[in-house]
């Protein structure tokens, strides 16, 4: 019987929908069966384990799962021997230290002698040590942001995304320890067969992520302006140029990085391009 790759993903929480969406874009449908912790994929030799995110690095390090999708913050906090492979472009957040708004803060040395509440004692401890700060760490597992308000700590170290939780608790972000997002991790030793499956999965993931970062652009260009337009386009290779039914005009097609989008559009317009269409790309294989 052929082996299946065992992938651990979050059962329910901030990572679960985006993880299922990514897998589904890779041709792997993931529907968590009611009350079951495991499902076998029909379209890929894959078995999915639905677990709590905190357990994912442990499962992968202990060989219960071959790979997993989890926040980089959790991987680094658990500090288990796993391979961190790809950043997946969702669940972006930071792990930050925050203090009451009114507190004076000029440099990290202002944390000396403070009590900081966190669910990330490992990452916080290493960060403070690296900066030669002597502060005490108070480990709590939930509602960290209320700790200063109830007199449990002077400050906190927690995940921040929009920042509104900090603001509503009268706190300000003073240090960013880590910028995190969901990552793919894998066991350090996999059989050749499982490594092949993992490589195939990563290839699909890369095609989906690369596609998300690009747009397909089509436009009409007067023939006299084609050279100028081609110079502007930061495409993968030479763009496609096809004659239009209207004499003296061509249709130009290319792929552009999403982050260059507005600058490129403005320059193309100035160069004489008209009727621009910009469409998302579903998969991109380079």
- Contacts with Zn ion, residue ranges (CB under 5 A): 53-54
Select 146 or 241, whichever has its Cβ closest to ligand PRT. 146
Select 77 or 271, whichever has its Cβ closest to ligand PRT. 77
Q: Which of residues 162-191 bind ligand PRT (CB under 6 A)?
A: 162-165, 180
Which of ligand PRT, Zn ion, none does 197 bind, CB closer than 5 to 8 A by kind? none
The Cα 61–Cα 67 span in angstroms is 9
Q: Contacting ligand PRT (CB under 6 A), which of 71, 148, 155, 239? A: 71
Q: Quick check: 87 binds ligand PRT (CB under 6 A)? A: no
Of 21-29, 52-60, 231-239, 265-273, which part binds ligand PRT (CB under 6 A)?
52-60
Secondary element (H or E) of residue 267: helix 261-271
Q: Quick check: 74 binds ligand PRT (CB under 6 A)? A: yes
Q: What are phi and psi of 183, to 5 degrees?
A: -135, 160
Q: In this structure, are residues 201 and 267 in contact, taking their beta carbons and an 8 Å threshold?
A: no
Q: Quick check: 118 binds ligand PRT (CB under 6 A)? A: no
Residues near 100 by beta carbon (within 8 Å), at least 6 away in sequence: 148, 154, 155, 170, 171, 172
- CA angle in degrees (0–180, nearest 5) for 193-194-199: 100
Select 23 or 74, whichever has its Cβ closest to Zn ion. 74
Q: Quick check: 10 binds ligand PRT (CB under 6 A)? A: yes
Select 23 or 160, whichever has its Cβ closest to ligand PRT. 160
Q: In the β-sheet with 5-10, what is the strand arrangement from edge to edge?
A: 38-40, 46-51, 5-10, 67-71, 182-186, 83-87
Q: Contacting ligand PRT (CB under 6 A), which of 93, 124, 177, 229? A: 93
Residues near 145 by beta carbon (within 8 Å), at least 6 away in sequence: 98, 156, 158, 165, 166, 169, 171
Structure token digits, residue 275:
């009727």
Q: Quick check: 156 binds ligand PRT (CB under 6 A)? A: no
Please give the residue ranges that form the binding site for ligand PRT (CB under 6 A): 10, 13-15, 52-54, 71, 73-74, 91, 93, 145, 158-165, 180
């Amino acid at each position: 019987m052929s082996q299946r790759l065992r992938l651990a993903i979050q059962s329910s929480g901030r990572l679960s929908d985006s993880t299922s969406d990514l897998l589904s874009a890779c041709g792997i449908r993931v529907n968590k069966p009611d009350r079951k912790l495991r499902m076998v994929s029909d379209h890929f030799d894959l078995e999915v384990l639905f677990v709590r995110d905190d357990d994912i690095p442990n499962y992968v390090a202990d060989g219960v799962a071959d790979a997993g999708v989890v926040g980089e913050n959790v991987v680094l906090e658990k500090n288990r021997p796993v391979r961190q492979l790809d950043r997946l472009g969702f669940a972006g957040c930071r792990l930050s230290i925050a203090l009451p708004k009114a507190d004076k803060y000029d440099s990290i040395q202002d944390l000396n002698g403070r009590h900081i509440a966190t669910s990330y004692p490992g990452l916080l401890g290493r960060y403070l040590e690296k900066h030669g700060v002597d502060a005490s760490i108070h480990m709590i597992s939930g509602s960290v942001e209320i700790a200063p308000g109830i007199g449990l700590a002077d400050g906190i170290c927690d995940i921040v995304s929009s920042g509104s939780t900090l603001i509503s608790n009268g706190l300000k972000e003073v240090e960013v320890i880590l910028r995190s997002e969901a990552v793919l991790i894998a066991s350090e030793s996999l059989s050749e067969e499982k490594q092949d499956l993992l490589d195939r999965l990563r290839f699909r993931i890369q095609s989906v992520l690369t596609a998300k970062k690009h747009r397909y652009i089509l436009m009409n260009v007067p023939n006299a302006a084609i050279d100028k337009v081609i110079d502007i386009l930061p495409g993968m290779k030479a763009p496609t140029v096809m004659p239009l039914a209207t004499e003296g005009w061509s249709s130009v097609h290319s792929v552009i990085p999403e982050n260059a989008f507005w600058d490129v559009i403005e320059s193309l317009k100035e160069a004489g391009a008209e009727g621009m269409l910009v469409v998302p790309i579903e998969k991109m294989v380079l």
